[in-house]
Amino acid sequence: MDFSKKLKAIELRKNGLSYEEIRKSISASKSTLSNWLKDIELTAEQKGRLSRLQATAYLGAKKNQAKSIAHHNEIREAAKKEIPSLIQNSFFVSGLMLYWAEGDKHSGKLQFSNSDPEMIRLMMKWFREFCKVPEEKFKIGLFIHTLHVRADCLEFWSQVTSLPLNQFNKPYIKPTIFSSRKNKLYEGTCVIKIHNRDLMSKILGWIDAVKGSFRV
């Protein structure tokens, strides 16, 4: 423990500063500050100031949240208008339907998972062609059962995705109850990851428009 940091934190807290304000002066986690400062009593005036700071921060966060929601709603609405010019393209529709069925649509993260190399190859082409994803924005995750771990597994998926190994996350090795490989050709599950909230909103807008066209 850095005793000088603790003394500085105690001094700042006694002056009525919030944990966030203290962290701007010293490098310490909230949990560390909580442990150091839990016995310090603040005056009524100091508590009032901190309450006002919290209220201001809350209002600011709500305002930013509203702006974000409006921004992503605009993207979704614009994407819906693109569907009439895209719906005749069978490849576009195939990729969109696959993402609708298998892609992550709720966490705010663009992710598509599958163990079929041809499906992963198709979706990589779809993201490149229709979503215009720059090559450096792709990240790949792998989920592999212990029985299927092979030295060339990363190289296999690197060839499938046409991405270098430095864009792969560390594989997640899953334990298995089986004592022998059931599928000799199984290479694990590949996860395509793209960190782009705007693109997620665009794809969801495309899906909304297609769903709307099916309603009677």
pLDDT tens figures, 37-59: 988 999 999 999 999 999 998 89
The answer, yes or no, to whether residue 1 has pLDDT greater than 80, is no
Whether the pLDDT of residue 120 is over 60: the answer is: yes
The H-or-E segment that residue 142 falls in is strand 138-145
| Rounded alpha-carbon distances, angstroms, from residue 37 to 5, 8, 17, 18, 105 | 12, 11, 11, 11, 42
8 A C-beta contact, residue 203 and residue 132: no
**Confidence at residue 147, expressed as pLDDT on a 0 to 100 scale:** 58
**103 token code pair:** 């892609």
